[in-house]
Amino acid sequence: MSLAETRTARILARQLFDGVGATPLSDRVVEITEGRVSAIRPATADDARGQDITEHDIVAPGFIDLQINGAADAQFNFAPTVETLKTMAEGARQGGTAHILPTFITAPDKDYLRAISATEEAIRTRIPGILGLHLEGPFLSHDRPGIHDPAAIRSLEEDDLSALTSSDLATLLLTVAPEALPPGTMERLSNAGIRVFAGHSQATADQIAQAQAEGLVGVTHLFNAMSQLTGREPGVVGATFASQSLYAGIIADGHHVDWRNVALAARLMPDRLCLVSDAMLTLAGTQTGFELHGVEIRLEDGRLTDREGRLAGAHVSLVECLRNVVEHAGIELGTALKMLSTNPAHALGLERELGQLEVGKRASITCLSRDLKVTGVYVDGQDFSPAGS
């Protein structure tokens, strides 16, 4: 181990949000040794004068994006390779994201196996920021395809179950339509350690409750591509609100969900709501259009849509989501920051390692200015300093 790897790095936080309380601690020093938080202590006058310390206005647990399809002109479905994952992680870091679950959406047959293989290799070779994999489909509902290719949506079969449960991925999130799964499948997936979310689903509230009893953990992009809350049928949305434990990703870009619904979700489930980007390759990239399943997608006024106006992913970073919910949904900063780190870590079962700034935990940290621009990102102690957001 080199001297650089063992040297203690220090961050001076004028406001430290530790992921536990909503109120920040003032003037704290976070020390990092060998990729982990080794100390958190009050700052001294000597710290402020130190040459080997980095000062930031706001310091918080590193952002975790549970759903990101692409960034920096790279799209996982188009090229499921280690190089794509590296590029996506770099693009996401410009928006403050420390860790991503690269998301591979519905594709023909068993194309998802290429995504599993690429992610396993990226983790083996220690590409910074690759936390695991999110497979969104192809085991979805034909009634709620969204922008996914209807021709590729299909049932989960026994050989799919074998492939999914035998992967080497420690963190695998799988979005399915629970009502479309064969009996017993949800429990078998859950027992294998897979974090199963409901999405692109027409399920009733009773079906969601049954799926939850069998291991369902959360829902994907709340409000979008799912059965809605009505007077006599709560649907997926109502079942999520009524639950005491289901997590939910939500896209806070101002296009996917009305701000009043974002605010409602935050009030009802502040410890279970996770801000996600659902970003496509245009994020932190140069392209303004691409083809998806042979359909032309264009970026206009911050929206990615096809010719019929259907949304096709998002063009938003996590730090933009943060600013959005604070400004437009009235969510307190400390609560919003937990929706970017603490809550996603719990949703993935990684709360012992990530989501809080605590001695012994992984030193994954997002640093911001007072006006909520990214000033620094640490991934397992590695210092990445994006020019801005």
Determine whether 278 is an active site residue: yes
Same domain (yes/no): 336, 204: yes
Q: In total, how many domains does the chain have?
A: 2
Same domain (yes/no): 51, 69: no
355 assigned to a ligand binding site: no
134 assigned to a ligand binding site: no
CATH number of residue 56's parent domain: 2.30.40.10
In a domain, 91, yes or no: yes
Same domain (yes/no): 83, 40: no
Task: Identify the pLDDT of residue 49.
Answer: 73
Mark the ranges of the chain whose per-residue pLDDT is less than 70: 1-6, 386-389
- Of the residues 18, 65, 253, 278, only one is catalytic, namely 278
346 assigned to a ligand binding site: no
225 assigned to a ligand binding site: yes
Same domain (yes/no): 204, 231: yes
Task: Identify the pLDDT of residue 335.
Answer: 97
Same domain (yes/no): 152, 212: yes
Same domain (yes/no): 27, 112: no
Same domain (yes/no): 67, 142: yes
In a domain, 190, yes or no: yes
Distance, CA of 319 to CA of 337 (rounded, Å): 10
User: How would DSSP label each residue in 337-376?
Assistant: HHHHTHHHHHHTT-TTTSSS--TTSB--EEEE-TTS-EEE
Same domain (yes/no): 55, 73: no
Domain boundaries, position 366: 3-61+356-384
Burial (0-12, 13-18, 19+ Cβ within 10 Å), 191: exposed
Burial (0-12, 13-18, 19+ Cβ within 10 Å), 228: exposed
Same domain (yes/no): 109, 179: yes
CATH number of residue 180's parent domain: 3.20.20.140
In a domain, 389, yes or no: no
Same domain (yes/no): 49, 89: no
Same domain (yes/no): 315, 378: no
Same domain (yes/no): 362, 290: no
Task: Identify the pLDDT of residue 386.
Answer: 55
